[in-house]
Chains A and B, each alone.
Chain A
């Protein structure tokens, strides 16, 4: 820990101890603040897993804890993607589950048997404390002022941009990934500063851990080579760069290939080619430098330089050729859509349909990073002023991360660490300037010195104002000092208030239970999700297949513990499109589809009664679009709009809309809740048609208290072999009074 301060009060060996203790206390307090500001949802509601994705992670962790590591590693999950199943061991990042499994067993060994659910819920707050510490270390490498690290740590601890992904209960990959990201960067900076193979190897190890935890490791894989490349382009190649980068790349790539999900990707895919290219480039440069040191000759140097350029362009050309010819896989859609922002919307609707893949609006930056966002550019500027190797890293990181966070809301998460670091650097510089007790020169001394100086100067320069003769450089008055420091303190206090407010109001609500306020201010909790999932769990067969839209796949698997057709891991687009087609077609079309996939129950989410806007009718158009991508002849988006191009559910709705399975399931029996003719959809604000839809091939099995979740049972085939429509209409007594004697146009019976 390098402590280089000229604080007059805390000097000497004793002062160093005091400072160390102070630091320890501050860091512990920061960690405590980081943890406790994430507990709003646990205190207000209960200790459960939020959101959708964490339910799968939770389920996988339970499997790991119950069956051991090796079973988890080759886990074939036959309760998802029903006819297909999922090779879970090879299609997930195991870092999160293994970490919490390890914590679970460690606590067991310490005779503290904690339930695995509580470990999963509280993992993210725990790691946020570590993230704050890692940011402290990282910033200390960047800045010479001792306070910058502490400021960065507290910023990172409570910035809402990071809290949004790491509140208690959000058991997602990002929970540990941000810690690993920052810590990997710290180790990298350390490695490049010292030129040490040891730190490079440590960096590679943590990089490997990061790869096992989050798909966002690609960010590191591209950032570190970019940093090195920029250094090389600036003419700052040194043997330190060579040692640290080559150690990192050689070990880190091997480490990343140990994860089954990643496999050969570091060799084969385009996202990893920059790292490989820079690795090759560094070998060349290293060799050339070696030769050049042996033979110092002007012509030889130019020759070598030409050689480097030639080889580099040949390598680049070879890379392009390999990519075009298909040996190296091109960019995957998810990453490609970061460059071509219109790509996903046109070609892969399933990527565009996720709400967090949208571009970020301006208010989001201020909302998530309050005062940090306007200190951020100043910090980058400060790095430009003192441009050493690690400052280049900050500059590269900030440019890259701000671009990505502008393209996608979700990537705000990778921007937050660097914003905290740079803002802390600026703020500590300001505070250091204005908070130093001593003035640049004490008055009496300066008068004496200036008198001497002015004597000499007066000889030389006689003219000009008297005040201009001895320009006073420095901040003297207590007023200016205290004003600036006071203003900064005020900003910091407001920042804390803002963070707490945002965390409490925006980011601490579990999406599993919906909370609403009654008029008297008391809280009313709508718990339809768990009610319905519990019903499924208790009242259906163990292997009853549930069909729902993919959003709810993980929750059904986690809470209801029933096999599903599709889930949030959208690896098979066609299968999702099949479900979309079943939902958006008429019953005659969708019944065979459901029979083919052995569906027993269909689950829809309907928010019309309560005004819950995230329901399936609002997501319906995405189902149609995804289905249309596969079967353009059978499902057409145009058919779901009225003649004027409106998306309606009331009596103006098109026939295709009214006959679609989704519409029927959502509004089935809904009219009965209201007086005749006054059925109202509170989300769409529409008056529903007086005659509700009729269901023939499925029957209502369960509807939750507030009608949010509706579950339908798929009927068996008719006993006598009739169509379901005919059978149901016979049951309803729709037979015509006068039997027609006319013979229908029958076809020949083929035996």
Chain B
């Protein structure tokens, strides 16, 4: 069901994105000049970050944002595990490894999904439709979880 909805989302997304990419050309140029000026003046990177954030919020389709939220969540979980491991010690090392590599692997797989479904990368992945990318994602995640569950003992 979710996949269906995703697939339906895909079709409207390119026009949004296209307008997103075409319209920001002017803001991007503005940002460009701003950043170059700020670099010359040795000004804060804060502005750059704010401009990037604005650009991101404007240009990214909803579905990609959802993926990004998931990836951010995975990063948080991974960092938490790592910090816990540093503080407490890594005694059941395989448990730590499987938990940590589950987050890393899931992050990477999700990033792959994000790349493959991104409309800008259409030329790169000619043979892979977003539905196919999602199926690949599910396949990879299943394998990953099987190995992690097996490894955690």
Which A positions have Cβ atoms within 8 angstroms of B?
194-198, 200-201, 204-205, 238-240, 242-243, 246-247, 249-251, 253-255, 257-258, 264, 267, 286, 291, 293-300
Contacts and interface: CB of A to CB of B under 8 A. Distances in A.
Contacts of A238: 124
Contacts of B98: 254
Interface in B90-119: 93-94, 97-98, 101, 104-105, 108-109, 111-113, 115-116
Given A200-B140, A239-B124, A254-B151, 9 more contacts: A195-B125, A197-B116, A198-B139, A250-B105, A251-B144, A293-B120, A297-B36, A298-B36, A300-B35
Contact of A299 (B39, B148, B151): B39
Contacts of B120: 293
B150 A194 contact: no
Closest 7 CB pairs of A and B: A250-B105, A197-B136, A254-B147, A246-B108, A198-B136, A243-B112, A299-B39
Interface stretch (B1-9, B11-19, B48-56, B81-89): B48-56
A254 B101 contact: yes
B148 A197 contact: no
A253 B144 CA distance: 10
B70 interface: no
B108 A247 contact: yes
Nearest to B39: A299
Interface centre among B97, B112, B120 (most CB of A within 10 A): B112
B31 interface: yes
Given A195-B128, A201-B140, A254-B144, A295 B31 contact: yes
Contacts of A293: 120
B140 A294 contact: no
Contacts of B128: 194-196
Contacts, number: 116
B128 to A, nearest CB: 6
Interface of B: 28, 31-32, 35-36, 39, 48, 51-52, 55-56, 59, 93-94, 97-98, 101, 104-105, 108-109, 111-113, 115-116, 120-121, 124-125, 127-128, 132-133, 135-137, 139-140, 143-144, 147-148, 150-151
B144 A250 contact: yes
A1 to B, nearest CB: 15
7 contacts: A198-B135, A239-B116, A243-B112, A258-B151, A264-B93, A294-B52, A299-B35
Contacts of B136: 196-198, 201
Contacts of B31: 295, 297
A296 B55 CA distance: 12
Contact of B139 (A201, A250, A297): A201
B106 to A, nearest CB: 8
Contact of A251 (B116, B124, B147): B147
A568 to B, nearest CB: 30
B52 A295 contact: yes
Contacts of B151: 254, 257-258
A274 B35 CA distance: 36
Contact of A258 (B116, B140, B150): B150
B86 to A, nearest CB: 13
Given A197-B140, A198-B139, A243-B112, A295 B101 contact: no
A157 B18 CA distance: 52
A309 to B, nearest CB: 18
A297 B48 CA distance: 10
Contacts of B115: 239, 242-243
Contact of B28 (A242, A258, A295): A295
Contact of B97 (A201, A264, A286, A291): A264
Contacts of A299: 35-36, 39
B147 A258 contact: yes
Nearest to B60: A294
B139 A295 contact: no
B52 A251 contact: no
A748 to B, nearest CB: 57
B97 A296 contact: no
B24 to A, nearest CB: 9
Contacts of B108: 246-247, 249-250
A295 B35 contact: yes
Contact of A254 (B51, B116, B127, B148): B148
A295 B59 CA distance: 12
A194 B140 contact: no
Contacts of B147: 251, 254-255, 257-258
B109 A197 contact: yes
B121 A239 contact: yes
A204 B93 CA distance: 23
Contacts of B94: 257, 264
Interface centre among B51, B98, B115 (most CB of A within 10 A): B115
Nearest to B118: A239
Given A239-B115, A243-B115, A296 B28 contact: yes
A232 B21 CA distance: 27
Interface centre among A240, A246, A250 (most CB of B within 10 A): A250
A300 B112 CA distance: 25
B55 A294 contact: yes
Given A250-B104, A291-B52, A293-B120, A197 B97 contact: no
Given A197-B137, A204-B143, A254-B144, A240 B51 contact: no
